[in-house]
Amino acid sequence: MNIATLTPKQLRTAADLQEKIAGLKSELAAIFGSESEAAPAPKAAKPAKRKLSASHLAKIRAAQKLRWSKVKAAKAKTAPVKAAVKTAPKPVKKGGMSAAGRARIVAAQKARWAKIKAAKTAPKAPVKPAAVKAAVKPATKAVKRVISPEARAKMAAAAKAMWAAKRAAKK
């Protein structure tokens, strides 16, 4: 017979019998005093998970519904009754300005732009050439300086002497 074909009841019975056999073997080994012959005690089997029957589960659900309906009924008695018709919330004015204030700003801005446009379209007064010459300074031409080879040699010798003196001072 294959284990896969056994029913759960038959498997439980077989497990109980194996536990009894192991217990009897250990008792027999204790009586005869031979520890080596005693088989190691099997691990305790986990108890099978219990499953609720469908009818019992239905009873639990019904009881829970009854409890919640009592809680909701108690809340309904104590809670104030809300109006069925919802009123629209009042509009809240957020800062802003009055129509008169806005009109004053618009008028002032139009006046500014009119002044700017008038300044752009007005004919410009001719500029006198004498005034321009007096305002602009004559540009001076930059002169490029050239160092002679003798002057360059003198500068190099002076720099070498200066660095030699600094090195000597460090020692």
User: Residue 111 corresponds to which amino acid?
Assistant: A
Cα 37 from Cα 30, distance rounded (Å): 10
Q: Which residue has the higher pLDDT, 11 or 141?
A: 11
Alpha-carbon gap, residue 72 to 80, rounded angstroms: 14
Please tell me the distance from the alpha carbon of residue 98 to that of residue 100, in angstroms, as a whole number: 5
pLDDT at res. 114: 94
Q: What is the pLDDT of residue 70?
A: 93
What is the residue-averaged pLDDT of the chain?
Answer: 82
Minimum mean pLDDT range among 40-54, 98-112, 149-163: 40-54
Top-confidence residue, 142 or 157: 157
CA 148 to chain centre: 71
Higher-confidence position of 64 and 146: 64
Give start and end residues of each alpha helix (H) in 33-148. Answer: 54-78, 99-121, 129-135
pLDDT at 54 over 80: yes
Greater pLDDT, 131 or 107: 107
